[in-house]
Structure 1
Amino acid sequence: MDFHCKTAEETLKFFGSDPKTGLTENKVVDSALKYGKNFVEAKKKNGFIKRLFGALAEPMMTILLIGFLIAFGTKFGSFLKTGEADFSECLGILAAIALSVTITLVMEGSSEKAFLAMNGLCGDLSVKVIRDGKVVSVSQRFVVCGDVILLSAGDKIVADGRLIECDDLTLDESALTGESHPGGKTCAVIRCENVPIAERKNCVYSGTFVKTGTGKMVVTSVGKDTETGKIAGELTAKDKGVSPLSHKLAALGKTISAVGTTFAVAVFVTSVIRLAVSGSLSFDGVQELFISCIITIVAAVPEGLPTIVAVSLALNMIKLAKENALIKKMVATETMGSVSVICSDKTGTLTENKMTLVKFVGVNGKTVPVSAANDEVIQNFVCNSSAEKVYENDKEVFTGSGTECALLCAFEKEKKQDSVKYRKSFEVTERVPFDSDKKYMVTAIYAGGGIRLLIKGAPERVLERCALSPAEKNRLIGEMKNCQSAAERVIMFAHKDFKKGDSFDAETENGLVCDGYAVLSDPIRKDAYKAVEECKSAGIRVIMLTGDNETTALAIAKKLGIAKSEKEAVNAVYLEGLSDEALIKALKRISVIARSTPMTKLRVVRALKSSGEVVAVTGDGVNDAPAIKHADVGVAMGKSGSEITKEAADVVLLDDSFATVVKAVAFGRNVYRNLQRFITFQLSVNVSALLFITIAALMGLTAPFNTLQLLWINVIMDGPPALTLGLTRINEGVMRDKPVGRTESIVSVKMLFRILFNGVFIGTVMVLQYVFNFLGASGGEVKSATFTLFVAFQLFNAFNSAKLGSESIFKNAKDDKIMIFTFAGVFVLHAFIVQVCYKPFGISPMSALLWVKCVLTAVSIVLITEIFKCFYRKAAGVKKAAARKKGFSRNVLLPGINKNRATGID
């Protein structure tokens, strides 16, 4: 029922309550049974088993599990038949699965504990209600519909209700409505039914706070039926689905498995034909071939990839925590790097959510420092105010209206005086509290031997009572409108002096002396300017979704560079009338959406995602929670955010700064680049190994590597060299790239070319050495040379993979110290294996000359890649020069290059 359309008496009658006596105990019980209790069932935390299955359900984990089962099945069948089997491949896959899952569970568990500790600061509240004619304190959980609750400054509203009494009552409803300024309240009926929550001045809502004044409310909704409860219910309606990274890794795993299967089938068919032709075809022979081919398919699966992903995400989670970003879901670390649109709340995220005095302007239009303001102005600042200075945790804080707190703060800062002592030096004779209808506040004090009437409020209401000429009033109105269009708030001040004994009417007195006006604003965070600029250079759109009015929102957006013109700003009401298709089209030009409701924000997020954008949503209020829940990455404010919002988020900002979001994007992009580096390296190894082994099999040659040699190669693929590639530090150029598309493969076209080129080159050289022995190895050294050459190729190719783009590996080589030390360590260990521990590996020691030949041959993969890069850089330079000469932009003439930049390759 729309209780804002009902009178206070009608609302009380509906619930059988009384403004003076409240509910009886019997009616409390009846109300709880009829309308429910005042709490929302908390979302059950996932237990260990559910979290474990959740980690195993990741697409790459599923592929590895299938690979493990196939490998184990074939090996176990061989064991039953012959009594012998090598389970090392199975153990390798199982170890990769276990490590990846363990890291995921540990890191997300740590973040969950930190998050619960942060939210544990919020406990149960006691509220004052009238029952059986007595004022009693009850837990918020036991509040029921029909209860009459007493309200005073500082109280948190614990249920939705209709006001039945109010005195100078203002509420901070920003958590629910997004409106940055406290809203004045009234008990008057609002006859229009379709009124936004922000404009229902006779109602109060759960989760909001009383800023000033006192009042009474009758509870109309509790628990899940409150506006906050409805939003909480929306959060459990549907999960956001699989992350973009999981989709891409799943697609990559399927492709690799398909390629491995193709190679295996080719080898199997060819080998069967060869056995048939030679007359040696037998069931045992075919069975051995089949098992061998199955192992080839399993070997093609990149079992090291999930581990690298888990380690990289985990380490970046730790780094981001130091940067004031608590990552609740590990995959969000990377998803931040793929974000193409950030939908940001205004208040508290882009701004400080703290009203501040910008300047005071005298009636002559000149700015006057507060320290030099006349007595009438200072008295108006301090005495004509309901704000108070209190002590919380041994710290001075101002409570009350944000505007009045800003004035008191400015007084103490500029005048170097204590507002409490100053206020006590004047005796108040009369006070007319601020009212949302009157829009002004009046206080009468003893001053200068008489009575001084102080008035402050909305400019139009104060000016109409001032003794100014029409021309002066118009000039002041023009000045103040300019301030208001710049997202600044204007408060007009006036006074009138009376002699003792003179009669006056504080509410209607005219002929006031205008003292000027104060300009206040919610300052934009200093780091927000740079953060928005970085988003623009990174190709990320920022859309402001706010509950504020269109004028204020657009002014802030223009200052930040989010919007350039009025055409980019719309009211949420306009979007409500659009179809889904029209909304997607409209969002391409919209940068500011004012008066946004929770459902507006949610619909915008879904529309952006359906158009292929990867969306992050930042916010602190309950009204932001549905959009945060359904975004690819939901970001909540840790300091000012509501519990519901933080629960719905993937990331919680401990400093409430938009700049921290941009830092998280940089970390995420680096994670994505590092995964591409690792994939480039590992797939090059896979391609070269598959090509080498397949050609050897097709030629009827013995397998080039035994089990222990393959195990060592796997260590190089998935061990220290690979790990080093996955943990490369952030490059400053990462925020100059364009975002990666939601459906874009993690393996770009240029990556694929390099993988195939390097893999085929290495595989071809290996086949030539295996067939023709061009290195000149003696009989006992042949296997050692083959083994060493392949390992050396992969180690040198790791350096190629460290540079994704056309950049030379020799540029800034000194920054790759970890890679160099890792290379040296692995190479020394390999030399130890060949020269000392060679027997278990089925090889022989090599001569110094053969070592030199192997290394020089392996270096060729670096040289040939550098030559190719050099030609590419020159070709790209020619294209750029041609584009500049013709006067076209790089974006127009070089779309291919720009597209590759999205994956960090240029």
Structure 2
Amino acid sequence: MKQLIPTDRLTGLAGSLSGLNEKERGERLLRYGPNRIVEHGRSGIWSVLQDSLRDPMLWFLIGTAAVFFLVGEWTEAVVMVVALIPFLGMDAFLHHRTQASTAGLKSQLLTSARVLVGTTPVTVPSEDIVPGDLVEVRAGEPFPADGLIVAADNVQVDESVLSGEAYPVRKSGVRSGPDGAVAGDADSDGWGFAGTRVLTGMARVRIAYTGRETAYGEIVRTAVEGTLKRTPLQQAVAELVRVLLAVALVICLVLALTRLWQGHGMLDAILSAVTLAVAALPEEFPVVLTFFLGLGVFRLARRRALVRRAVAVENISRVTAICSDKTGTMTAGQLVLAHQFPAEGYSAILLQIAAAASRGESGDPMDAAILEAVAEHPPIEPVASFPFTEDRKHETNLFRQGGTLQAAVKGAPETVLALSAEDAATRQQWLDRVAELAATGHKVIACAHRVLPPGHAVDTEPDTGFSFSGLLAFEDPVREGVAEALRSCLAAGIRVIMVTGDHPLTATAVAREIGLGGATPRVLTGDELSACLASGDSDDLERVDVVARAVPTVKLQLVKALQAGGEVVAVTGDGVNDVPALKAADIGIAMGERGTRSAREVASIVLMDDNFRTIVRAMEEGWQLFRNLKLSFQYLLMIHIPLVITATLIPLLGFPVLYLPIHIVWLELIIHPTALLVFQNLPEHARLPLATRTGKAILFSRQDVIQVLVVGLLTTALIYWSFLRSLGEMQDVAHARSMALATLIVAGAVMTAGLSRLRGRVAVMVTVAGLLSAPLLIQPDAVAVALHLSPLHLADWLRAVGSGVLVAIPLVAGALLRRSSRTGKRARA
């Protein structure tokens, strides 16, 4: 990857080993501004309150609580006030997220740096660094800004924060002409990026870009300037409660005016309106939503997925496409020694030779893997080391063993073979094997060994006469369970695209191993994908399985292109490079074990084990939880339709008020625990449903709406018939009320059983308790009189049970139709 060099800023400086003087630094600070990559956003209680006051759900809760206070329903008012707490907390958290993300982004940067003023190193605040400064960066420190590496001493850099690759990148100094001039661009191996960390060696960097002009700064700008949108579930529930609230208030007003017009007096009118208000105001919906989202956070945490935004529980159930990292998500994220190919005579000592050529303090993961493989052998202390450089492409250690001075070398196979005494044919055979291993995604090094003659100087590196010892092949192994999880996604019609900074051959090998794209996965490089998206050609996007050599902008482009095509996109990431894509995605999933703080702060979900399998399990849990939330909402609508209609219709027709306030309290004591507890249980094994690409979230399908209306209206008709039949010529209002309440309670229990299938002990207990409340409060004479009821006969109870059986018919029919529809969709898929 080429980096543009601003020649106007670095004229005559690129190849120099002297820094700017104080005057030049001051002038450039005025011209280019401070090296401030992360700006501080607004904060404070007032800004949090401003954000919260824009939430219509908050105003609904406040308004509903006020109505309950005015009508004297203190318990319901307290419930609504308590329900304010999680919503205010969520608004405050969403506001705080940007602040926390900014702090996380800033944590990747140095607070001070060593700058050469002339030839004297001076420690200055990192914000005072200017283009043209010459900065020393040592092992363990991040680069403070972007610039040319003009001197490098065995420098390896961890660029995973920007590239996502697990392997260190070796850096070399940029060569310049006699006048210090360089070409208009430079390879990335001669470039230092702000935020990336030096692992080994020391580099001198001529700063070219500072602040928001750096690659890191561009990522920060994209992350901080985005907006946080309400999820479709929040919007759907807010719209539902707004409609129900408006309808309830209109009905209450109409009922009060009608009762006055019928001559029942002011007290009756007020009582009728207040009772209906308590029954009709849809306060359960936001309470149930809050409860289920909190429950989802807990259940996903048990699946090792830490939810940082409760509303992500809804979005993860709707995911239709996953853009997943390879390194650390599909694979383990660490190099392991996978294969040994010893030359003849070296089967027993190939690893010892490789270990003799390694250094434990190098920070090189290959060295670590080799030394771990020979951990049972005592380490060989070198007497001299000649480290790896980009020019040499090998490293050599001299050591004494058995009274002789020996040399061990490891490095690029073509280089090590050139040092050995093998003939041309044998070298070619080894190189052919190297090519085969590289094509399957392995990183390959060669080893060689020789005994040095007596008197060989330890400060002289031998460059001939080595005996080729063999090859070592390393790989980043696929994580356990990834292939099975991928098959679950594909069976559900969910697209999976692997995005990696690795070479296409490595990415292809991993994709083939996990079954992504079959035997011939479709692989595009980041540049190829960008070109396709720029040209408007969507065919490649529809077929791509892997994006290799991907840079941060490509990942963001991919997410936006998929969303434009109607996909609900989940993105995994671990570094600062992933922050824009994580924030743009419908679900941002950060890695908990190796992810940066920046990635975790902007993500909706953090995986505690960094495993792709956990994503799929979280999707299964999220889908099941969202399905149960919908069932709870369906129950609330089914039970409230007959409750509200009969509470309105019977008084409007001139009959006595059907439900008194105490009856509404009784019914709510059944409805609330049913909605909150019965539908929370999940099956032990959830299966991902077939993904649907509707372009928007649908709380209820047309079939769901029809079922709710049929069940609600059928129950309404049964209650109305039961009331009128029991009222009879004697106008026995108490008996009619008892019959209406018994019918509604039995029908509600049937709704609960039909929707929940009574999964779990809590579902059975709550349903049975609701049923038992009817005879316990209706049959005893003293209790019945206190509640303005009268005991029922056996025939009455049989009619109530028969009504419940009728209500079960549309519930069973709906379940059968849904099962048939799902089977048909999977067959067509």
What TM-score do the two structures reach when normalised by structure 1?
A: 0.79
1:840 Cα deviation from its structure 2 partner: 6.4
- Determine the structure 1 residue equivalent to 2:179: none
* CA displacement, residues 300-339 of structure 1 (integer Å, 9 cap, x when unaligned): 5632111111111112223434544332222112212221
1:539 Cα deviation from its structure 2 partner: 3.4
2:327 to 347, 364, 367: 347
Identify if the C-alpha distance between structure 1 residues 866 and 234 changes in structure 2 by more than 3 Å, giving closer, same or farther.
closer
Q: Secondary structure of 2:680's match? A: coil
Distance 1:367 1:261 in 2: 88
Q: Please state if 1:86 is matched with 2:71.
A: yes
Q: Please state if 1:239 is matched with 2:227.
A: yes
Q: Please state if 1:158 is matched with 2:144.
A: yes
1:528 Cα deviation from its structure 2 partner: 2.9
Identify if the C-alpha distance between structure 1 residues 688 and 597 changes in structure 2 by more than 3 Å, giving closer, same or farther.
same
1:666 to 620, 623, 630: 620
- Determine the structure 2 residue equivalent to 1:407: 370
Q: Secondary structure of 1:348's match? A: helix
- Determine the structure 2 residue equivalent to 1:747: 700
Distance 2:306 2:817 in 1: 41
2:210 to 222, 230, 249: 222
- Determine the structure 2 residue equivalent to 1:204: 192
1:417 to 361, 373, 377: 377
- Determine the structure 2 residue equivalent to 1:473: 427
Distance 1:204 1:622 in 2: 16
1:287 Cα deviation from its structure 2 partner: 15
Unmatched runs of 5 consecutive residues or more in structure 2: 177-181
- Determine the structure 2 residue equivalent to 1:391: none
CA contact (8 A) 2:500 2:549 kept: yes
2:357 to 369, 384, 394: 384
Distance 2:141 2:812 in 1: 71
Q: Please state if 1:759 is matched with 2:712.
A: yes
CA RMSD, Structure 1 to Structure 2 (Å): 4.3
Deviates further, 662-671 or 548-557 = 662-671
Identify if the C-alpha distance between structure 1 residues 890 and 177 changes in structure 2 by more than 3 Å, giving closer, same or farther.
closer
After TM superposition, list the pairs within 5 Å mapping 1:486-885 onto structure 2: 486-501=440-455, 509-510=463-464, 512-566=466-520, 568-579=522-533, 582=536, 584-693=538-647, 695-696=649-650, 699-717=653-671, 719-738=672-691, 741-773=694-726, 780-802=734-756, 809=757, 813=758, 815-829=759-773, 831=775, 833-834=777-778, 835=780, 836-838=782-784, 841=787, 843-847=788-792, 849=794, 852-853=797-798, 855-861=800-806, 863-865=808-810, 868=813, 876=820
Distance 1:730 1:53 in 2: 41
- Determine the structure 1 residue equivalent to 2:383: 427
Distance 2:583 2:665 in 1: 44
Deviates further, 759-768 or 830-839 = 830-839
1:387 Cα deviation from its structure 2 partner: 3.9
- Determine the structure 2 residue equivalent to 1:19: 17
CA contact (8 A) 2:530 2:554 kept: yes
Distance 2:44 2:683 in 1: 35
2:314 to 293, 318, 334: 334
1:472 Cα deviation from its structure 2 partner: 2.3
Q: Secondary structure of 1:844's match? A: coil
Q: Secondary structure of 1:795's match? A: helix
Deviates further, 760-769 or 155-164 = 155-164
- Determine the structure 2 residue equivalent to 1:178: 164
Identify if the C-alpha distance between structure 1 residues 579 and 540 changes in structure 2 by more than 3 Å, giving closer, same or farther.
closer
- Determine the structure 2 residue equivalent to 1:900: none
CA contact (8 A) 1:145 1:220 kept: yes
**Size of the alignment, in residue pairs?**
816
* CA displacement, residues 53-90 of structure 1 (integer Å, 9 cap, x when unaligned): 65564555556667778x68xx9xxxxxxxxx7354xx
Q: Please state if 1:37 is matched with 2:34.
A: yes
Distance 1:573 1:728 in 2: 47
Specify the code of the residue in structure 2 equivalent to 1:727.
Answer: Q
CA contact (8 A) 1:153 1:400 kept: no
1:488 Cα deviation from its structure 2 partner: 0.9
* CA displacement, residues 686-736 of structure 1 (integer Å, 9 cap, x when unaligned): 22234434543664434422334334334433x111111342224413435
Q: Secondary structure of 2:328's match? A: coil
CA contact (8 A) 2:566 2:694 kept: yes
Q: Secondary structure of 2:151's match? A: strand
* CA displacement, residues 420-467 of structure 1 (integer Å, 9 cap, x when unaligned): xx22xx422xx4332223322233445565553433222223234433
What TM-score do the two structures reach when normalised by structure 2?
A: 0.86
Specify the code of the residue in structure 1 equivalent to 2:307.
Answer: I
Distance 1:871 1:658 in 2: 34
Distance 2:319 2:648 in 1: 41
Identify if the C-alpha distance between structure 1 residues 44 and 205 changes in structure 2 by more than 3 Å, giving closer, same or farther.
same
1:507 Cα deviation from its structure 2 partner: 7.5
Distance 2:554 2:606 in 1: 22
Unmatched runs of 5 consecutive residues or more in structure 1: 76-84, 389-398, 803-808, 884-888, 896-906
Specify the code of the residue in structure 2 equivalent to 1:772.
Answer: R
Identify if the C-alpha distance between structure 1 residues 623 and 780 changes in structure 2 by more than 3 Å, giving closer, same or farther.
closer
Distance 1:665 1:566 in 2: 27
Distance 1:518 1:104 in 2: 57
Distance 1:103 1:262 in 2: 29
1:766 Cα deviation from its structure 2 partner: 0.9
CA contact (8 A) 2:397 2:409 kept: yes
Identify if the C-alpha distance between structure 1 residues 594 and 440 changes in structure 2 by more than 3 Å, giving closer, same or farther.
same
Distance 1:332 1:48 in 2: 25
CA contact (8 A) 2:710 2:810 kept: no
Q: Secondary structure of 2:236's match? A: helix
After TM superposition, list the pairs within 5 Å mapping 1:317-332 onto structure 2: 317-332=297-312
* CA displacement, residues 179-231 of structure 1 (integer Å, 9 cap, x when unaligned): 33222211134977577xxx411111122122333332233333333211211
Distance 2:422 2:454 in 1: 25
Distance 1:533 1:298 in 2: 50
Distance 2:693 2:641 in 1: 25
Specify the code of the residue in structure 2 equivalent to 1:353.
Answer: G
Identify if the C-alpha distance between structure 1 residues 4 and 40 changes in structure 2 by more than 3 Å, giving closer, same or farther.
closer
2:86 to 80, 86, 103: 103
Identify if the C-alpha distance between structure 1 residues 151 and 586 changes in structure 2 by more than 3 Å, giving closer, same or farther.
same
1:850 Cα deviation from its structure 2 partner: 6.5
Specify the code of the residue in structure 2 equivalent to 1:373.
Answer: I
After TM superposition, list the pairs within 5 Å mapping 1:112-127 onto structure 2: 127=113
* CA displacement, residues 774-815 of structure 1 (integer Å, 9 cap, x when unaligned): 99995542222222322332233222221xxxxxx3xxx5x4
Q: Secondary structure of 2:511's match? A: helix
Specify the code of the residue in structure 1 equivalent to 2:134.
Answer: V
CA contact (8 A) 1:212 1:386 kept: no
Distance 2:77 2:669 in 1: 14
1:306 to 286, 299, 305: 286
- Determine the structure 1 residue equivalent to 2:349: 373
1:361 Cα deviation from its structure 2 partner: 0.6
Deviates further, 168-177 or 657-666 = 657-666
- Determine the structure 2 residue equivalent to 1:891: 827
Distance 1:531 1:721 in 2: 34
CA contact (8 A) 1:148 1:219 kept: yes
Identify if the C-alpha distance between structure 1 residues 561 and 261 changes in structure 2 by more than 3 Å, giving closer, same or farther.
farther
